[in-house]
């Protein structure tokens, strides 16, 4: 179990929450905002456990923390995701909605149906274990305007003992009325050395650890996931192949990239099955994985562009400098910029349901020739 005092790299966020608790004027609605993989969810669960634990403790770790005991049945139930007063709310809950129309809708937003049934209605029911209730809304920016408007009153004045934590990446995408009713806690990207250190602790080699820290710009969660999925070897191989790509392209490479991306999606779906919370849908996982692969490739061309133009940017693929130099000498800055643009166009095509194989073939062709995409 991760408790408040174990959360690292987010001192300011944790201090804000701790201050509020010690002064016993806890806000009843929080907005935890920041990039994915930096501890928003971990902190939300640690806070939920502290609020639902009948015997929270004070520990001194540099400063004093009020946190869950970590031993009682309530603490264990929150951890296992089975506490009756701990309510994660996420878009995939639509699949369990009473109304078949809500069930059938594509789950790309948090609909009013889900917010009404799993949050607003559930808030109104009394606490089972008598210590209040905690709701954690994942990807809160996906709430439709209708859902947000329906939630306003609950956010402003929930019944006593109810705490609602909205988790989001981009608070500016929420309605101002929603924002103004929440106490905003910002989570920042973690220092590169910190992320690299965490990976090293998990047994990742130094070069790889440094690479993921730079590539994810300091998201320990994302770095761990990509490293765990064996993506470092994949990126090493792909960058080597790209550096030696003949101008006519390489049909085999397109096929392999499509396969790699599929495999990464399968790993992500399997990992989400093991973790608490929603299971990742295969189509979504496929698009996200392809997006990650495209991002990995684009970052190499961005490095090459920086080397070519002498721009003072952080070089992400520093572990494959020779390959970067070869890309930087082979293409003009305009061509490199064109390749990067083509790769983001590829991602847009995937989201528009274009056959992944066609997209990958075109991505390889753009990388080989330095000419814009022709789909
Ligand atoms: Zn406890």
Q: Which domain holds residue 248?
A: 229-369
CA of 75 to the centre of ligand 1 (A): 4
Please give the Cα distance from 203 to 54 (Å, whole number): 37
- What CATH number is associated with residue 271? 1.20.272
Q: Say what the pLDDT of residue 276 is.
A: 62
61 belongs to a structural domain: yes
54 belongs to a structural domain: yes
CA of 373 to the centre of ligand 1 (A): 57
Residues 301 and 177 in one domain: no
Residues 180 and 264 in one domain: no
CA of 71 to the centre of ligand 1 (A): 5
For each of the chain's 375 residues, which pLDDT tens digit applies? Answer: 777 777 878 888 888 888 888 777 789 999 999 998 889 999 999 999 999 999 999 888 777 788 999 999 999 999 888 999 999 999 888 888 888 887 777 667 899 999 999 999 999 999 999 999 999 999 999 999 999 999 999 999 999 999 999 999 999 999 999 999 999 999 998 889 999 999 999 999 999 999 999 999 989 889 999 999 999 999 999 999 999 998 888 889 999 999 999 999 998 888 888 776 667 778 878 888 999 999 999 999 999 999 999 888 889 999 999 999 999 999 999 999 999 999 999 998 988 888 889 999 999 999 998 877 665
211 belongs to a structural domain: no
Angle (CA) 295-300-305 rounded to 5° is 120
Burial class (CB in 10 A: 0-12, 13-18, 19+), 131: middle
CA of 91 to the centre of ligand 1 (A): 29
Name the β-bridge partners of 155. none
Residues 6+ apart with CB under 8 A from 150: 112, 115, 116, 120
252 belongs to a structural domain: yes
Residues 234 and 175 in one domain: no
Helices (H), 81-171: 100-104, 112-115, 121-124, 145-156
CA of 280 to the centre of ligand 1 (A): 30
Residues 280 and 180 in one domain: no
Residues 157 and 263 in one domain: no
CA of 34 to the centre of ligand 1 (A): 28
Residue where a domain stops, chosen among 186, 216, 251? 186
198 belongs to a structural domain: no
201 belongs to a structural domain: no
Q: How far is CA 38 from CA 144, 204, 219, 257, 264, in A?
A: 25, 19, 5, 28, 21
SS3 content of the chain, % helix, strand, coil (to 5): 60, 10, 30
193 belongs to a structural domain: no
- What CATH number is associated with residue 137? 3.40.50.300
CA of 236 to the centre of ligand 1 (A): 46
Give the total number of structural domains in the chain: 2
Cα Rg of the chain (Å, integer): 23
CA of 57 to the centre of ligand 1 (A): 9
Residues 145 and 242 in one domain: no
């Amino acid at each position: 179990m991760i408790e408040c005092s174990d959360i690292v790299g987010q001192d300011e966020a944790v201090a804000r929450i701790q201050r509020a608790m010690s002064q016993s004027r806890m806000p009843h609605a929080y907005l935890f905002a920041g990039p994915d993989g930096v501890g928003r969810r971990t902190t939300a669960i640690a806070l939920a456990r502290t609020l639902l634990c009948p015997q929270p403790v004070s520990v001194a770790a540099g400063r004093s923390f009020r946190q869950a005991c970590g031993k009682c049945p309530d603490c264990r139930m929150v951890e296992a995701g089975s506490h009756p007063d701990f309510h994660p709310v996420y878009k995939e809950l639509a699949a369990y909605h009473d109304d078949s129309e809500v069930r059938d809708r594509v789950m790309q937003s948090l609909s009013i149906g889900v917010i009404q049934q799993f949050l607003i209605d559930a808030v109104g029911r009394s606490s089972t274990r008598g210590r209040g209730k905690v709701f954690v809304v994942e990807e809160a920016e996906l709430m439709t305007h209708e859902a947000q408007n329906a939630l306003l009153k609950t956010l402003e004045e929930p019944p006593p003992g109810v705490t609602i934590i909205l988790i989001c990446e981009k608070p500016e995408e929420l309605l101002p009325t929603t924002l103004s009713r929440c106490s905003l806690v910002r989570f920042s990207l973690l220092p590169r050395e910190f992320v690299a250190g965490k990976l090293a602790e998990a047994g990742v080699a130094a070069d790889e650890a440094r690479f993921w820290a730079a590539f994810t710009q300091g998201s320990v969660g994302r770095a761990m996931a990509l490293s765990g999925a064996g993506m470092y070897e994949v990126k090493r191989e792909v960058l080597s192949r790209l550096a030696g790509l003949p101008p006519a392209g390489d049909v085999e490479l397109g096929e392999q990239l499509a396969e790699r991306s599929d495999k990464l999606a399968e790993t992500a779906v399997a990992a989400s099955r093991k973790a608490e919370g929603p299971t990742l849908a295969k189509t979504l996982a496929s698009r996200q994985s392809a997006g990650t692969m495209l991002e990995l490739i684009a970052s190499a061309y961005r490095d090459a562009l920086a080397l070519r133009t002498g721009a003072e940017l952080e070089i992400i693929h520093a572990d494959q400098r020779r390959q970067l130099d070869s890309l930087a000498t082979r293409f003009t800055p305009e061509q490199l910029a064109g390749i990067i643009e083509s790769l983001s166009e590829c991602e847009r095509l995937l989201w528009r349901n274009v056959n992944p194989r066609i997209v990958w073939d075109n991505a390889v062709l753009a990388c080989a020739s330095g000419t814009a995409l022709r789909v």
